[in-house]
Amino acid sequence: MNKTFLLTVIAMVGISFSSMAQYVDRTNFRAGLIAGIPVGDAADISSFSLGLDIAYHIGASELLDLGFATGFINAFGDTTTISGGGINVETEFDDFQFIPVAGSLRIYPTYDFKFGADVGYAVGVNEGNEGGFYLRPIIGYNITGNTELNVSYVNISNDGNFSIATLGILFLF
């Protein structure tokens, strides 16, 4: 029920903002790659992450873009040795995979520099992964007219937090 409600809200917001494209000629589709290092509790069960980043933004004003973000995140499972009482047990964790579905906001204090956030739900793909609330604050810089370099912090929360510090590159299409 929560997933359906969130997806409905995101769709309605997107439809209402699609009429704003007339204000600024900055409507664009971007796709690229992200790589990251799990932090916090995620660092105990995962070693590295790779993903695909996809976004569609509509220029709502000279300083603001609104849109949608999705993609795919794969956090590679880690092998950990747990020691206790003279016994060592090696535990191998599976990969964690998510597909984020989020609303996206970007603020442009300058033409090349931007910051914002993606907020929504990360759908768990692998077995036993329920997904959770998705929050991704992001800072980006346009290297060229059609290439962006960004850093972000991905946090997926359900019963706990799964967090990744990422570096990404996006290309304008």
- Judge whether residue 76 has pLDDT over 50: yes
- Judge whether residue 79 has pLDDT over 90: no
pLDDT in tens, 2-51: 666 556 656 655 555 444 444 456 788 999 999 999 999 899 889 999 99
- The number of residues in the chain equals 173
- pLDDT for the residue numbered 15: 53
Q: In whole angstroms, what is the distance from residue 101 CA to residue 3 CA?
A: 10
- Among 121, 116, 86, 92, smallest CA distance to 7 is for 121
- pLDDT for the residue numbered 74: 97
- pTM for this one? 0.82
3-class SS string, the chain: CHHHHHHHHHHHHHHHHHHHHHCCCCCEEEEEEEEEEEEHHHHHCEEEEEEEEEEEEEECCCCEEEEEEEEEEEEEECEEEEEECCEEEEEECCCEEEEEEEEEEEECCCCCEEEEEEEEEEEECCCCCCCEEEEEEEEEEEEECCEEEEEEEEEEECCCEEEEEEEEEEEEC
CATH number at residue 104: 2.40.160.20
- Judge whether residue 90 has pLDDT over 50: yes
pLDDT in tens, 111-149: 899 999 999 999 999 998 999 999 999 999 999 889 999
- pLDDT for the residue numbered 20: 45
Domain that holds residue 87: 2-172
Domains contained in the chain, number: 1
77 Cβ contact list (under 8 Å, min separation 6) = 45, 46, 47, 92, 93, 94, 95, 96
